[in-house]
A and B are shown apart, each in its own frame.
Chain A
């Protein structure tokens, strides 16, 4: 009984209930929502947003914020695609993911250098580095869309799980890139739950001074956090390329606030120390479902922003109400 009440008091329960309610409303209005192809589509559209969100979760937990991750993703995915094309690489996609991840890692460490060595506010550093990365990409590396991708990446984009052919002749399947999202979610979950850096991230977000006195090496932790976000962003960028089947250097940048909104919707506190992987995943699904289903519901697409804005305001309002501790820190950014 006690266990049940504990579940009922968790943010994730409310999220899941909201998601279920929303799904049933949509399904009643338009049964096409529950079709397998639509559900697979939802999973596909949540992949890139989801991988980004997991990275953002880690930063938010540590009490920081990163808004350069989309710029990191754009830079690493574009450079990787060009690099692999120039070398004539045609092997598996794994190398492409690794290259993009490493590039992202390097760019993330660049952020960490400023954040740790000069103790600058994370919002400001990533604001500056986002312009630097984007400027670097578009001014010097290229502005043209790369349409002919390396063979390995094209293969990966066509591969699907649970492929089936419907009686009508239409083939459906879950895009293989969804596995990257699942893998990233499990990795972040394990990192936060079972490893020392994971505990350190929560400690740092709860109280940096206490974390330092408890013996956590803050320097190593900060480099780890921002490097890790960079890595995930690089991977997300490459996944985006594979899903779109082209590398557009203008893509991704501009979606950072939506990703942060999804993570916050998932119950992560922007002041650090609170948030879970499950909540983040549910937050991503909720946002993607709202975005994708308005068309199914026959709502004009220009209402989309109004609804997303309302969802963010209402849900953060409810979260703060439910957590009296937050009322104390009225002002924390």
Chain B
């Protein structure tokens, strides 16, 4: 009798230890599986590209590449959590980037002094963020006041914003910014790339917002069951408006990083980012039916995608498989990965249901 009692106490201790462990690690089953996938991709790519993949240089260059997609993915995640989707993120990024670029090129050609330049760069950033907020406000009004389905409203505004960007630029690129502005996309702070810092900061903010604030809780509630959310007294309209405001501002930040990294702004830049960002969010375990999502998952998903694409790029140097590797093989692997992860998650969900 006492023996079993001891056993029970032991298992209780174990349980509390596990609980503590779980609190520091991603707890969702899907996220754990994604962690395994990410590590597996990392190992496979390192083995396939000996001496090339696991180098400081490669990791440094990857750290400049994935933050843009990461920020866009955070935006998509927020919209998916509320049960909608924002298709206009890329067009908002480009439009706000172009507005900032217009200010910046004026500043360069005017030949201003250093402090004035700093003011100009700050003004450009502020203008881009404000324009992003305006775009997001328009999306929010269409979705919450006019009750247009998010997918349609943002499909329309996507065309609209890209169109406005085209009208402003007539299809040309706007290039040539002051050195200070190029720091956002190309600079390092204490050895860490600035884009990476921006992405990590935003990721922390979004995670904190979702898990620790009332707004985050309300967003998840609304995504899980909009009708219940309304009947429990949530102002669904205001919540929706805020969501699309947030996604647009995030997109504007991504737009700034892009124009600064490439030193040019164009109306149709990065159109392939849209599907990739949705892919990252879904891969990261965000439920497209709303209600659930974690920044952990998005972080892992964007990393695994970057490992895959950098690794495949290096494989082009390989003599036997090299000729078959190109951008389209990457697209194929991404799609296959998305389907595979969804199927695995579905199987695990079924096993648990039993």
What is the interface of chain A, defined by CB distance below 8 A to chain B?
A: 65, 114, 118-121, 123-125, 127-140, 143, 254, 257, 260-261, 264, 270-271, 302-310, 312-313, 316-317, 320-321, 326-327, 329-333
Within 8 A of A (CB), among B303-344: 324, 326-336, 338-339, 342-343
Question: Do B335 and A330 touch (CB < 8 A)?
Answer: no
| Residues of chain B within 8 A of A140, CB atoms compared | 324
- Point out the residues of chain A lying under 8 angstroms from B153, CB to CB: 313, 316
Query: With a CB–CB cut-off of 8 A, which chain B residues contact A261?
Result: 155-156, 159
Q: Of all chain B residues, which has the CB nearest A65? A: B151
Q: Which chain A residue has the least Cβ–Cβ distance from B339?
A: A128
Chain A residues, Cβ within 8 Å of B143: 330
Q: Nearest chain-B residue to A315 (Cβ)?
A: B156
B240 at the interface (CB under 8 A from A): yes
Whether A306 touches B339, Cβ cut-off 8 Å, given contacts A135-B328, A135-B331, is no
CB closest residue in chain B, given A143: B328
Q: Are B275 and A264 in contact (CB under 8 A)?
A: no
Within 8 A of A (CB), among B122-152: 142-144, 146-152
Chain B residues 63 to 107 lying within 8 A of chain A, measured CB to CB, are: 82-85, 87
Is B346 among interface residues, defined by CB-CB distance under 8 A? yes
User: Interface of chain B, helix or strand or loop or mixed?
Assistant: helix
Q: Given contacts A128-B338, A134-B331, A331-B290, are A306 and B160 in contact (CB under 8 A)?
A: yes
How far is B278's CA from A1's CA once the two chains are assembled, in angstroms? Answer: 50
A-B contacts, 15 listed (Cβ < 8 Å): A118-B343, A118-B346, A128-B339, A132-B335, A134-B331, A139-B328, A139-B331, A306-B164, A306-B166, A309-B163, A312-B159, A313-B157, A331-B83, A331-B290, A333-B289
Contact A312 B152, CB 8 Å, known A124-B282, A139-B324: yes
Query: Which residue of A is nearest B329, CB measured?
Result: A139
B155: chain A residues within 8 A (beta carbon): 257, 260-261, 312
The distance in angstroms between the C-alpha atoms of A124 and B324, with both chains bound, is: 27
Q: How far is the CA of A143 from the CA of B326 in the complex (A)?
A: 11
Judged by a CB distance under 8 angstroms, whether B162 is at the interface is: yes
Q: Say how far B209's CB is from chain A's closest CB, in angstroms.
A: 20
Inter-subunit contact B335/A317 (CB<8 Å):
no
With known contacts A135-B328, A316-B153, A130–B335 Cβ distance under 8 A: yes
A127, A133, A327: which contacts B147 (Cβ < 8 A)? A327
Chain B residues proximal to chain A, CB less than 8 Å: 82-85, 87, 142-144, 146-153, 155-164, 166-167, 170-171, 222-223, 226, 236-237, 240, 271, 275, 278-279, 282, 288-290, 324, 326-336, 338-339, 342-343, 346
Given contacts A306-B167, A327-B147, A331-B83, contact A139 B160 (CB under 8 A): no
In the docked arrangement, what's the CA distance between A257 and B91, Å? Answer: 14
Closest chain-A Cβ to B276's Cβ sits at a distance in Å of 9
- Bound-state Cα–Cα, A2 to B330, Å: 59
**Nearest CB in chain B: distance from A21 CB, A:** 20
Contact B278 A127 (CB under 8 A): yes
Residue of B nearest to A305 (CB): B163
CB distance from B108 to the nearest CB of A (A): 25
CA distance A132 to B332 in the complex (A): 4
Contact A330 B156 (CB under 8 A): no
| A-side contacts of B163, CB under 8 Å | 302-309
**Does A131 contact B342, Cβ atoms closer than 8 Å?**
no
- Contact A305–B339 (Cβ < 8 Å): no
Residues on B with beta carbons closer than 8 Å to the beta carbon of A137? 328
Is B157 touching A309 in the complex (CB atoms < 8 A)?
yes
Contact B339 A135 (CB under 8 A): no
In-complex Cβ contact of B279 among A65, A127, A329 (8 A):
A127
Q: Which residue of B lies closest to A330 (CB)?
A: B147
Chain B proximity of A311: nearest CB distance (Å): 8
Whether B288 pairs with A270 at a CB distance below 8 angstroms is: no
Inter-subunit contact B222/A331 (CB<8 Å): yes
Q: CA–CA, A264 to B171, complex, Å?
A: 28
For A330, what are the chain B residues with a Cβ–Cβ distance below 8 Å?
143-144, 147, 226, 236-237, 240
- Interfacial chain A residues near B335, Cβ < 8 Å: 127-135
Q: B156 — which chain A residues lie within 8 A by C-beta?
A: 261, 309-310, 312-313, 316
Q: Which of B85, B160, B329 contacts A305 (CB 8 A)?
A: B160
In the complex where A128-B336, A135-B331, A305-B160 touch, is A121 in contact with B148 (Cβ < 8 A)?
Answer: no
The verdict on A333 contacting B151 (CB below 8 Å), with A124-B288, A127-B278 known, is yes
Contact of A121 among B171, B271, B289 (CB under 8 A): B289
Cβ contact within 8 Å between A333 and B149: yes
State the CA gap A94–B141 with chains docked (Å): 50
B147 and A303 within 8 A (CB) = no
B288 — which chain A residues lie within 8 A by C-beta? 121, 123-124, 333
